[in-house]
Amino acid sequence: MLLALPVAALAGLVSFASPCVLPLVPGYLGYVTGLASTGGGGTRQADTGVGAGGLEGRGRRRLLAGAVLFVLGFSVVFIVIGFSAGVLGGLLTQWASEIARVLGVLVVLLGLAFAGVLPALPVLGRTVTARVRPRPGLAGAPLLGVTFGLGWTPCMGPTLAAITSLAFVSGSGSRSIVLAAAYAAGLGIPFVLVALAAARGVRGLKGLRRHRLVLARAGGALLVVVGLLLVTGLWGQWTSALGARFASWALL
């Protein structure tokens, strides 16, 4: 778990910087606060309703509250996915080693696709559009977060698959909840930071967009490393060793 938590948080951060999520951040923040309108196609990508001078007082607090509620919404989705994988892993303990190797191969392939080394699977660039669209504003922010978590799962497939694989290997529902929460935090904290910075934060996203290729390759490399550790069995050995070392320190 000590090794998995930073990996999960970093995977969430990579997901935030991915082409699936980053261009949509301004539109989502505007939608959850009711500061931006939507067209027929859904959330607008370029308008947060925040002027060049930013927001003051109540408007900024509303933007922050909307971002937090939105993050809580999609966190629930990822935690449920992680918990389910952990429980399933616990039920299939006798085949855990073989399944971990299969999952490791899958994570390696997805990592190579994420980095652009292999052709991306068509499903990885898709999203699922919900028929029920929450109303703009704070009241609809948690539901919009749930919709985001469900609809963008295929698009965030590589990173989410890696974390789900680690949750499965853990074989524990409680550990998987913590792992999924770390992933959600890595994805969600940047949303909140952008909301805190208001207009300046949104403009700061341009820097991430310019370096999206580098970020994609770095994220893909992380997934490949995790996949190889699963295939070779080193992941289980390292996590067990770290757990034993931490337990010995706790007894001192």
pLDDT digits (tens, 9 = 90+) for 157-199: 778 888 888 888 888 888 899 999 999 999 899 888 888 776 4
Kindly report the backbone phi and psi dihedral angles of residue 174, in degrees, each rounded to the nearest multiple of 5, phi listed first: -65, -45
Q: What's the rounded Cα separation, in Å, for the pair 42 and 175?
A: 36
Q: What is the dihedral of CA 120, 204, 28, 146, to 10 degrees?
A: 60
The pLDDT value given to residue 46:
40
Q: What's the rounded Cα separation, in Å, for the pair 226 and 10?
A: 12
3-class DSSP state of 63? helix
Number of domains in the chain: 1
The pLDDT value given to residue 7:
87
pLDDT at 136 over 90: no
3-class DSSP state of 45? coil
**Model's pTM, two decimal places?**
0.75
Average pLDDT over residues 137-147: 82
The pLDDT value given to residue 250:
45
Dihedral sign, CA of 154, 138, 134, 25?
negative
Instruction: Give the model confidence (pLDDT) of 70-102 as tens digits.
Output: 999 999 999 999 999 999 988 888 887 888 889
The pLDDT value given to residue 192:
87
CB-neighbour burial class of residue 2 (10 A; exposed 0-12, middle 13-18, buried 19+):
exposed
Average pLDDT over residues 231-235: 84
Enclosing domain of residue 222? 4-251
Specify the DSSP element, H or E, that contains 78: helix 58-91
